[in-house]
Amino acid sequence: MKNRFQDPKFCVSITAPNTSKLISDVNSAFKSGAHLAEVRLDSLNSFSLDKIQELSDVHKNKLIFTFRAKHQGGLSSISEPDRLQILIKLLDIKNSIKDIESDTFNKNYSLFKNEKNLIISWHNFKSTPSTNSLESLIKNISKKLTHPKQIIKIVTYANSLNDCNKVFNLYSRFEKSKFQLLAFCMGETGSITRILSPVLGAPFIYCFSGNKAVAPGQIKLDTLSEIYSNFA
């Protein structure tokens, strides 16, 4: 097996209250060594698509834009129809990656199916279903994928190390698939899955830069770099 500890890719998650803070945080993340940045648009008080396009042009193909739904941990209280309209408009943002929830993808498949740089996300904030259940979920999503660059992202909550192993087992089951799998667990116990997922095939790792994690169990970029330096 290739030693993927040697070249893991870091994706810093960013929640900012306004566009100026967002731009500052994105620039800071890349200066700190991030390869990608996840931009949580649902954290912004307001934003213009022109500003988002400008930011995307500066950091070509390095930004992941998402506007997370409230029931999926989103920070905005806008209506679902309004949120969907934002997601549709994001498809016009060039040189970027978009992340949408699996239920949104399924309900609006015709709108999103041709987006090559797409992450389809599924979250469980309380527990981790069985490996077989997660496998069935991934297979159902994968049937609708149209491009090998598209990523299926599965995120569960680990209440035990056994939960972590359920997620680890997914990688061998989809090792030869035509899509990319990104699966890990939230929570303190789940932190180990964030560290080891690139070894099993995850395209990158979510982390944070600064003083506050965006999600439970997220590890600071500097800490991850130190961990991986031991395996170089």
Q: Mind telling me the catalytic residues?
A: 123, 153
Measured distance CA(174)–CA(47) in Å, rounded: 38
Three-state DSSP at 27 gives helix
Nearest to 205 by CA among 188, 218, 187: 218
Measured distance CA(192)–CA(194) in Å, rounded: 5
Contact 155, 125 (CB under 8 A): no
Nearest 5 degrees, angle CA 115-CA 169-CA 104? 30
Beta bridge partners of 207: 12
The sheet carrying 36-40 orders its strands as 180-186, 151-157, 118-123, 97-101, 63-66, 36-40, 10-14, 205-207
Measured distance CA(216)–CA(212) in Å, rounded: 10
The two tokens of residue 54 are 């400008």
